[in-house]
Amino acid sequence: MVGRYLMRISISVLFLLLSNTSTLIRGSLSDSQKYKVIRIVPEYKNQLAIINELFYQSMESQLNFWRAPTGIGQAVDIMLQSSVIHSLANFFKQNNITFKIIINDVEKLIYEREGQPRKSDGQNYATVTAFNSIMESFMKRSKDANLIRNKAKYKFGDYHSYDTIISWLNEIEHFYSNIAKVFTIGQTFEGRNIKGIKIGNPIDKINKRIIWIDAGIHAREWASIHTALYFIDQLISQYGIDSQITSYIDTLNFYIVPVVNPDGYEYSRSDLTPHARFWRKNRGKKVCFKDRWYRERCCNGVDLNRNFDFYWGETGSSSHICSEIYHGNAPFSEPETRAIRDKLLSAEMFGKIDAFITLHTYSQMWIYPYGHQRRSFPNDVKDLEKVGKQAVKAVENVYGTKFRLGTGADILYPSSGGSDDWAKSKAGVKFVYLLELRPGENDFDGFLLDRRQLIPTGRETWAGVRVVIDAVMRSKKVRPVDIPLKLNYNETKAIKRISTFHFPLQYSRKFMTTAPPQMKSQSLRPINYNYHLENLQQRHSIIRRKFSQQFQNRICTDISPWCMNWIRINPNVCLTAQTYMQQQCIRSCRFC
């Protein structure tokens, strides 16, 4: 306990040094824009504990964690100003922690990887001759002929603005209105429409099973957005050509939202500086306050993948608005997360979604629920593992790219409030996966994926996603369950009912409505249906009263230990998240 207290004091002193250094050099533009990325590999528990503490208190410093600490022997990548390296190096030396610089000048790398194409977004890309000659050569060598089959043209192998992306979706709807339709699920804090595209044949049929795919919930993860757009192009351009994809679209409805967080995405495109390019959160309301050293600080934005109503605010998130993993002041406090919730729970979609796939970068992981704590799984984890293994193998078969498979808590780090866990637990989706795309853990590029890898990333990921779609398609072939209902003691009529549970039942057995053996000697009497209905209503009224009394007499206690902390952060949380708080914080919210 004393050791942990001293460690926190030591880290607080470090943050004071880092913040003062940052303030002093802010006047020099050239110095302040020089960022580096360092890599640490903790070897012992105490080193991991120190790095974890740095991670959870990083809002006090200029440390931007590209990859969070996950365990002993697992790499941790941190972006920081070059001016604070000396202070941090001394701190690490005192704690026997070694590090190496993996990116010496982040801004230079941003410009090399993304600077020129961004200038020409929306213009004639032939002006960027050097890069385009490479890309044109690569495109000729690639076998993605379907990339030019689509009548709606999009420059794959590059990053584009949100407006360009939406214009392309609108073009698809124009050229392929029989199978494609653009939809809006909500508006962002800055007023942008969050748009997606529905793909299915016929497009207006709503009683089909659904595949949901989204990307770009974290602003800086550009490669995930490109990959979602690649999926859209595959479906559109291959319809009527690839028999399997044609069957997908004829049988299922696809809902794809390529940019969940358009405000954050556009902000990350607004400047070449690392602070802007590696922005993670949305662009929510700015809050100003005095920090522990009585300096004025202003921060904004919420980590949208910590804002869903699944063990919200408990693990792997922060209550500090300046943190990269700030979970917001209540579940679904943000318009972007509410938009996803409302769409998935709408009459159009609820109960019909068989797969939920959300795309992220980076680390090459295929993740299934649950992520809020280690060794926590849904009841059908074997199904998720089986399909996940097949998908990971399919990805590897394309280019040899290896993905790790498991829950986020077990192979990454525990975090609550994620969209994937919510989709599984609250929206009732069968196949739920969060994909961390290229690059791998041992590559140094991080979020700055070389554009020459964008199309290969889309291609290999699509191979894995098709495995999930195939699993959904197989489930469509389950035959209806025959339930013979005994109408009277000597006449039986078989009535075919289609089970509302879409996936294969583990077992089914016929049942008869005859009396048990010990009552067969009693004579059967005609049923008085009016009397029977009145009796049922009476019994229901009695049971409801009994349940109400039991509810009132039960012990009034909270389920979650975090209730008072949530109320302290947001005094109105009992009202703004009433359903969740009734389940978790019945005592603290005075519901009983």
- Whether residues 68 and 158 share a domain: the answer is no
Q: What is the pLDDT of residue 370?
A: 95
At 39 the three-state DSSP class reads strand
Q: What is the pLDDT of residue 537?
A: 52
Catalytic-role residue among 190, 436, 441, 534: 436
Looking at the DSSP bridge assignments, the partners of residue 371 are: none
Which residues fall within 8 angstroms of residue 145, CB to CB, at 6 or more apart? none
Tell how many helices (H) and how many strands (E) occur in the chain.
21, 16
Q: 448 pLDDT band (50/70/90 cuts)?
A: confident
Residue 503 has pLDDT above 90, yes or no: no
Q: 8 pLDDT band (50/70/90 cuts)?
A: low
- On whether residue 336 sits in a domain, the answer given is yes
- On whether residue 134 sits in a domain, the answer given is no
Residue 25 has pLDDT above 50, yes or no: no
176 neighbors 203 (Cβ within 8 angstroms): no
Q: Which domain holds residue 229?
A: 141-281+332-475
Q: What is the pLDDT of residue 273?
A: 86
- On whether residue 421 sits in a domain, the answer given is yes
The model carries a pTM of 0.71
Q: What are the distances in angstroms from CA 295 to CA 19, 131, 290, 298, 427?
A: 10, 45, 5, 10, 43
- Whether residues 80 and 6 share a domain: the answer is yes
**Average predicted confidence (pLDDT) for the chain:** 79
Domains of the chain: total: 4
Residue 131 has pLDDT above 50, yes or no: no
Closest by CA position to 573, among listed 225, 312, 271: 312
- Whether residues 264 and 179 share a domain: the answer is yes
Q: What is the pLDDT of residue 392?
A: 98
How many CB atoms are closer than 10 A to CB 270?
Answer: 12
d(CA 111, CA 117): 9
Taking only the tens place, the pLDDT of each residue in 217-244 is 999 999 999 999 999 999 999 999 999 9
Q: Which residue has the higher pLDDT, 3 or 277?
A: 277
What is the distance of C-alpha 450 from the center of its chain? 23
- On whether residue 124 sits in a domain, the answer given is no
SS3 per-residue string spanning 309-377: CCCCCCCCCECCCCCCCECCCCCCCCHHHHHHHHHHCCCCCCCCEEEEEEEEEEECEEEECCCCCCCCC
- Whether residues 470 and 560 share a domain: the answer is no
Give the lowest-confidence range in 113-117, 425-429, 510-514: 510-514
d(CA 462, CA 570): 41
99 neighbors 92 (Cβ within 8 angstroms): yes
Give the lowest-confidence range in 103-107, 139-143, 340-344, 412-416: 139-143
- Whether residues 198 and 268 share a domain: the answer is yes
- On whether residue 578 sits in a domain, the answer given is yes
- On whether residue 539 sits in a domain, the answer given is no
Looking at the DSSP bridge assignments, the partners of residue 353 are: 210
d(CA 395, CA 464): 5
d(CA 159, CA 448): 11
- Whether residues 358 and 446 share a domain: the answer is yes
Q: What is the pLDDT of residue 180?
A: 98
Q: What is the pLDDT of residue 204?
A: 95
Looking at the DSSP bridge assignments, the partners of residue 35 are: 81
- Whether residues 13 and 100 share a domain: the answer is yes
- Whether residues 86 and 180 share a domain: the answer is no
- Whether residues 471 and 486 share a domain: the answer is no
- Whether residues 7 and 89 share a domain: the answer is yes
- On whether residue 561 sits in a domain, the answer given is yes
The arithmetic mean of pLDDT across residues 204-220, rounded, is: 97
Return the CATH number at 51: 3.30.70.340
At 184 the three-state DSSP class reads strand
Q: What are the distances in angstroms from CA 317 to CA 167, 279, 304, 320, 459?
A: 35, 16, 11, 9, 33
Give the lowest-confidence range in 94-103, 122-131, 238-247, 279-288: 122-131
- Whether residues 350 and 471 share a domain: the answer is yes
Q: 488 pLDDT band (50/70/90 cuts)?
A: very low
Q: What is the pLDDT of residue 477?
A: 60
- On whether residue 290 sits in a domain, the answer given is no
Residue 511 has pLDDT above 70, yes or no: no
The arithmetic mean of pLDDT across residues 46-61, rounded, is: 78
Q: What is the pLDDT of residue 272?
A: 83
- Whether residues 21 and 76 share a domain: the answer is yes
Q: What is the pLDDT of residue 579?
A: 65
Return the CATH number at 414: 3.40.630.10
The arithmetic mean of pLDDT across residues 379-392, rounded, is: 97
d(CA 557, CA 583): 10
Respond yes or no: is residue 534 known to be catalytic. no
- Domain closes at, from 78, 104, 130: 104
Taking only the tens place, the pLDDT of each residue in 572-586 is 777 766 666 777 788
**pLDDT-above-70 percentage for the chain:** 71
